[in-house]
């Protein structure tokens, strides 16, 4: 009887050992720390959202969110890149924004032997896709997968909430001199449509078309969206209100930081935009 118990104990220890070995074989291990450089503020935000912020050793100018990004060394911006500094930082990966970084700069970075990945989301769903893709390169892909799925669910909820509501004619003003708006290919047009808005300039071929005041007046918007700082928005609104034809228009100032970058925070800006349309209905 004692021998039977002893044999069972040995079998139990053997089973435990085999289970432990199996656990070690299947348990995911965190990737070794790397050195990344971001060449766009929106990419910097995506990297942090993907759980890889600690890997950033250099970022583009104006990378100010999250606050931890402000302490990371700058490697340049629209005025040009500091190639010597980039090479001195010994990056394993450079994350570029094609339309902002430019093809020539990207070619030069590759010629210097640097590995490049890109991010340029053209839709709200593409923000989630880029977040997840960057996360796959980072220390813990599960973080990015979870946050990307949360973004997708927020988009679905906004669609369900607004798709049957009365459409609202919207003029989205991005600048005043020259007067500029957006067409239907712009990511912010998708935000307007998601909230049940109609952009009268969606059919124009230029992404950010220049407009005359007469064209805006003829479009008869119910709501003018002003995604700029409050003081500037007040000035733009006052300019329109001097015109009798705008007497029935409503105006809404939107937080520019939330809408100017294709990052998870853009969904906060979209929800703000949706609330502005709801007040008009």
The 10s digit of each residue's pLDDT in 180-195 is: 999 999 999 999 999 9
- Report whether pLDDT(123) > 90: yes
Q: What integer is the mean pLDDT of 133-150? A: 97
Whether 181 and 238 share a structural domain: yes
Question: Is 11 part of a structural domain of the chain?
Answer: no
Question: Is 240 part of a structural domain of the chain?
Answer: yes
Q: Which of 100, 119, 148 is the last residue of a domain?
A: 148
For a pLDDT cut of 70, what percent of the chain falls above it?
88
Enclosing domain of residue 246:
165-280
Whether 126 and 175 share a structural domain: no
**Where residue 108 sits, what CATH number does that domain have?**
3.40.50.1980
Question: Is 10 part of a structural domain of the chain?
Answer: no
More confident site: 1 or 94: 94
Whether 41 and 143 share a structural domain: yes
Whether 195 and 130 share a structural domain: no
pLDDT value at residue 16: 54
pLDDT value at residue 3: 45
Burial zone of 122 (CB within 10 Å; 0-12 exposed, 13-18 middle, 19+ buried): middle
pLDDT value at residue 225: 98
- Report whether pLDDT(6) > 70: no
- Report whether pLDDT(33) > 80: no
At 163-218, the pLDDT tens digits run 899 999 999 999 999 999 999 999 999 999 999 999 999 999 999 999 999 999 99
Q: In which band, very low, low, confident or very high, does the pLDDT at 103 lie, cut at 50, 70 and 90?
A: very high
Q: What integer is the mean pLDDT of 23-31? A: 47
- Report whether pLDDT(25) > 50: no
Whether 131 and 231 share a structural domain: no
pLDDT value at residue 12: 53
Whether 204 and 134 share a structural domain: no
Q: How many domains does the chain have?
A: 2
Whether 78 and 178 share a structural domain: no
Whether 143 and 246 share a structural domain: no
Question: Is 9 part of a structural domain of the chain?
Answer: no
pLDDT value at residue 2: 42
More confident site: 5 or 194: 194
Whether 141 and 46 share a structural domain: yes
Question: Is 60 part of a structural domain of the chain?
Answer: yes
Whether 128 and 183 share a structural domain: no
Whether 171 and 276 share a structural domain: yes
At 239-270, the pLDDT tens digits run 999 999 999 999 999 999 999 999 999 999 99
State how far Cα 236 lies from the chain centre: 27
Question: Is 17 part of a structural domain of the chain?
Answer: no
pLDDT value at residue 79: 86
Matching residue, tokens 């805006």: 216
pLDDT value at residue 78: 84
pLDDT value at residue 276: 97
Q: What integer is the mean pLDDT of 131-156? A: 97
């Amino acid at each position: 009887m004692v021998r039977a118990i002893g044999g069972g104990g040995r079998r139990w220890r053997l089973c435990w050992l085999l289970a432990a070995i199996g656990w070690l074989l299947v348990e995911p291990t965190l990737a070794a720390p790397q050195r990344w450089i971001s060449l766009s503020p929106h990419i910097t935000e995506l990297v942090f959202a993907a759980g890889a912020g600690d890997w950033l050793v250099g970022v583009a100018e104006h990378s100010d969110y999250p606050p931890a990004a402000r302490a990371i060394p700058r490697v340049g911006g629209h005025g040009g890149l500091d190639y010597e500094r980039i090479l001195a930082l010994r990056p394993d990966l450079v994350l570029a924004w094609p339309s902002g970084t430019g093809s020539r700069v990207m070619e030069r970075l590759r010629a210097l032997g640097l590995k490049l990945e890109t991010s340029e989301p053209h839709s709200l769903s593409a923000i989630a896709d880029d977040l997840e893709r960057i996360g796959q390169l980072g220390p813990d892909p599960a973080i990015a997968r979870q946050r990307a799925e949360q973004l997708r669910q927020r988009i679905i909820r906004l669609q369900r909430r607004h798709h049957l509501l009365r459409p609202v004619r919207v003029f989205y003003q991005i600048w005043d001199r020259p007067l500029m708006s957006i067409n239907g290919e712009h990511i912010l047009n998708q935000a307007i449509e998601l909230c049940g808005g109609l952009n009268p300039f969606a059919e124009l071929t230029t992404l950010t078309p220049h407009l005359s005041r007469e064209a805006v007046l003829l479009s008869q918007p119910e709501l003018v969206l002003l995604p700029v700082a409050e003081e500037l928005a007040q000035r733009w609104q006052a300019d329109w209100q001097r015109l009798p034809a705008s007497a029935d228009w409503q105006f809404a100032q939107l937080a520019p930081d939330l809408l100017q970058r294709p990052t998870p925070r853009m969904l906060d800006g979209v929800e703000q935009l949706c609330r502005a349309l709801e007040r008009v209905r």
